[in-house]
Amino acid sequence: VRVVDLDAEELPGEFFGLHLQYPGASGAVRDHAPLVGAAHAAGALVCVAADLLALTLLRPPGEIGVDIAVGTTQRFGVPMGFGGPHAGYLAVRAGLERMLPGRLVGVSRDADATPPTGWRCRPASSTSAGRRRPATSAPPRCSLR
């Protein structure tokens, strides 16, 4: 890892990735589009740590060609939960989603771009591990999503 002040230095001769802060730690807002273009021309991926609250006013990272955007939601006042983690986000451009570790999270859409409507039911065994639900008890609780 090499930390480079891109206001004073050029991009290194050989590199495979570039990680930028958007906006910068000092609050400075820079147009990263030329830098992202130069990184892509060198065959590198670009990741941006973006502040979600700032993105309500700034140009979205996807519009400047960024490959990966990451950040947290703590700026919206999400409590830390007794020292535990708070929510974060990770977004990638089309074509990189299958390279993410773990499972994909998202919503499918039909040919008309309509999200699905489905029933989500709690299984009968969810409250009594391994035991069958008695015939006289209520059916599983369901909710429409």
One digit per residue, the tens of pLDDT, for the chain of length 145 reads 888 887 778 888 888 999 998 888 788 888 889 999 999 999 999 999 998 888 889 999 999 999 999 988 777 766 666 665 677 788 889 888 878 776 656 666 778 888 766 555 555 454 555 555 555 555 555 444 4
Distances (CA, A) of 29 to 9, 21, 76, 90: 18, 9, 20, 21
Q: In sequence order, which ranges of 3-140 are alpha helices (DSSP H)?
A: 33-41
Residue given tokens 């029933």 in the structure block: 119
What pTM did the predictor assign? 0.65
Closest CA to 31 of 14, 9, 44, 48: 48
What is the pLDDT, as a whole number, of residue 135? 55
What is the pLDDT, as a whole number, of residue 145? 47
53 Rama sector, left if φ>0, alpha if ψ -120 to 50, beta otherwise? alpha
β-bridge mates for residue 65, sequence order:
none
What is the pLDDT, as a whole number, of residue 144? 47
Whole-number Å distance between alpha carbons of 82 and 136: 41
